[in-house]
Structure 1
Amino acid sequence: MVTTTDASTGTASKHDTTILAAMVKEAGADLDDRIMPLNQERGWDIKIHVDAASGAFIAPFQYPSLPWDFRLPKVGSINASGHKYGLVYPGLGWLVFRSREYLPESLVFHENYLGARPRPAASFPDMKI
């Protein structure tokens, strides 16, 4: 996976994220052109993760036609932090995947948070009514 940052946290300056589909222009070839043969040769499927912690709340409004999100075929996931420009408490953030196939099983927790035994909606254990 290749990761890029949408905007600088310190200065909020926008990075040129039109390069996300092709990530970086080097010697006249974009990253897709460089990665695709490598993917085929080695059986890889490299995806792009966009770290849009700050920029996700700015880019859609400041640069509405600039593709930096799931409009780009290789973008598999995007994260955003609510506390930077979303004006919510620190610690709130989102990690969004293009589809379930991009979500690694190691990030999935199969927990029964409320317990395995169903309880009636109006049960009051150890509580005096």
Structure 2
Amino acid sequence: MKNYPRCFRAASPEETCVTDCVCPCGWVNPPKNYTDEELTAKVTAIQEKLKVSKESLSSTLRAKSSAKDDRSEAAAVGIVGVVFLVSLVGAIFLLDLTTIARDVRMLLGNLRQVYQP
């Protein structure tokens, strides 16, 4: 492999080489003036080449899956959470049970009156 001298980019658009260089990159090519159509075509080609599908990004794939946690503490916290939620809903249901029973009796009484021969 050849040892090429280092080429540095200066603040200006032109490159500065420490020595006479034979750069393998395209820095030493003379600049070309493009027409509007050529420039638009080049920009469009570069944009198409750089486009990435959002569905294939690793951040999108990781957002849809969760990490498995085999610790017993994690399972215990989950069970406590489920028990708390079930007991909360059950308590609300039990508090309304007398009201529901009263309303069902009233409904049945009204239906008997409507359908009595």
For the pair shown, the structure with the greater C-alpha radius of gyration is 2
Fold conserved (TM > 0.5)? no
TM range (shorter): under 0.3
Q: Whose helix proportion is higher, 1 or 2? A: 2
Task: Report the TM-score when normalising by structure 1.
Answer: 0.23
Give the number of the structure with larger relative contact order, counting CA–CA contacts within 8 Å between residues 6 or more apart. 1
TM-score (norm 2): 0.25
